Amino acid sequence: MKLEETVWALNSEPFVDTKDFVVYKDKYPVTEGHLLFVPKVEDWEHLAKCYKAAYQWGFDWVQKGYCDAYNIGQNVGREAGQSIMYAHVHLIPRRKADMADPTGGVRHAIPGRGNYKANEDKERQEKLWAEEQARQQRFDF
């Protein structure tokens, strides 16, 4: 697939157009300001430039107070959630309280697996509960 054949090129206005990549506003933004960095040529060199630009934009946004943090990511393949089969990099601005507990960050791609601290706490609680149940059974007549 060529960039000119993508849904972005056919249906969206570029937010920014450079010699190496195009930036589009995500049609289904996770947060306000969610952007897509799309290489003009689908190769390592152009994709690396997308990552570098996304990182620079995110860093600048935090410095300027537009957001508190940011995620940069890419879905590669259908099983990873890619729906448009042309390389692109997501820049997702994050703000305090945009979710109850952001611990785990991109790990939230798999439901229930994101907050590794909560999972550790749950395992610890289940172990304590099992130990307590075993103690109580010793005294049941």
- CATH 3.30.428.10 matches 3-98: yes
pLDDT digit string (tens) for the chain, length 141 residues: 899 999 999 999 999 999 999 999 999 999 999 999 999 999 999 999 999 999 999 999 999 999 999 999 999 999 998 999 999 999 999 999 888 888 888 877 766 766 666 666 667 667 767 777 776 676 655
Distance in angstroms (rounded) separating the CA atoms of residues 63 and 139: 61
What pLDDT is attached to residue 14? 97
Dihedral sign from CA coordinates of 116, 26, 82, 22: negative
pLDDT of 10 reads: 95
Residue 78: the pLDDT is: 92
- Domain-wise residue ranges, the chain: 3-98
